[in-house]
Amino acid sequence: DAKTTQPNSMESNEEEPVHLPCNHSTISGTDYIHWYRQLPSQGPEYVIHGLTSNVNNRMASLAIAEDRKSSTLILHRATLRDAAVYYCILRQNSGGSNYKLTFGKGTLLTVNP
Amino acid sequence: GAVVSQHPSRVICKSGTSVKIECRSLDFQATTMFWYRQFPKQSLMLMATSNEGSKATYEQGVEKDKFLINHASLTLSTLTVTSAHPEDSSFYICSARVITGKGNTEAFFGQGTRLTVV
């Protein structure tokens, strides 16, 4: 599986934007970039995913570099409820059992009031 | 989004006994479910892929005779930890793949089961 690299931890203040980076220099042309987050003692929650173009949804935005070797998850206004571990994952574009997701260590986001 | 429900959320069992964890897709059918394990302060590790009506596919290093997986219906997969030992104490999480609109695929996760073996 193509590997991703994320900072171990980041801090933000409430109501401010947060940019969570992810490097994936070995990404293949068909890999999707997925972001999940995990709150304490809960299962992961889907945040956003993309292939080449930037993506927006109600939770966040995903900015993908032109060469696709890095991406950034953007939380436009952090809240205390956004404090979680954020995982950047590459997924092969195939179905069935190949949809298994390989989790790295992720970035622990702390949001200060 | 789709809902995946796990039961129980917490369980404490004695060493040597077996524990069954259920994973249900509440509003969709899941032909494939995935079981993960997460130790404290570590990331999720995939244990096995559960396929409806067929045998599960286990990741390298996961004992299939110890972690029994059954996926008898399109909405239920179970993980049984047999002859549990304290080192099996962990957070077990299931997920299911859902094909959403426009052919996109997403994974939805259960809330996890905290297993403590004493």
- Sign of torsion, CA B63 B78 B93 B80? negative
Is residue B80 within 8 A of residue B92, CB to CB? The reply is no
Q: Give the type of residue at A73.
A: L
- Structure confidence at residue B60 (pLDDT): 94
Q: Average of pLDDT values for B22-51?
A: 92
> Distance (Å) from the C-alpha of residue A106 to the closest C-alpha of chain B?
8
Per-residue pLDDT reduced to its tens digit, A54-100: 999 999 999 999 999 999 999 999 999 999 999 999 987 655 545 67
Give the strands of the sheet with A70-75, arranged side by side. Answer: A18-23, A70-75, A61-64, A55-56
> Distance (Å) from the C-alpha of residue B45 to the closest C-alpha of chain A?
7
Q: Give the type of residue at B7.
A: H
Q: Does B107 contact A46 at a Cβ distance shorter than 8 Å?
A: yes
pLDDT above 70 for A113:
yes
Confidence label for A29 from pLDDT (cuts 50, 70 and 90): confident
What are the tokens at A27? Answer: 């990404």
The number of angstroms, rounded, from the C-alpha of A8 to the middle of its chain's C-alpha atoms is: 13
- Structure confidence at residue B27 (pLDDT): 86
Question: pLDDT averaged over chain B?
Answer: 92
Distance CA A69, CA A52 (A): 11
Give the residue from chain B lying closest to A48, CA to CA.
Answer: B106
Among partner residues A38, A99, A104, which is closest to B97 by beta-carbon distance?
Answer: A99
Q: Based on C-alpha coordinates, what's the Rg of chain B?
A: 14
- Structure confidence at residue A62 (pLDDT): 98
Q: Average of pLDDT values for A19-45?
A: 93
Higher pLDDT, B85 or A2: B85
Is the bond into B86 cis (omega within 30 degrees of 0)? no
Question: pLDDT averaged over chain A?
Answer: 91
- Structure confidence at residue B101 (pLDDT): 65
* Exposure on the CB side of residue A91, measured as CA atoms within 13 A: 25
pLDDT above 80 for B99:
no
Distance CA B70, CA B58 (A): 12
Q: Does B51 contact A49 at a Cβ distance shorter than 8 Å?
A: no
What are the tokens at A93? Answer: 């574009």
Q: Average of pLDDT values for B29-48?
A: 92
Per-residue pLDDT reduced to its tens digit, B60-87: 999 999 999 999 899 999 999 999 999 9
> Distance (Å) from the C-alpha of residue A34 to the closest C-alpha of chain B?
9
Distance CA A22, CA B52 (A): 34
Q: Average of pLDDT values for A100-104?
A: 85
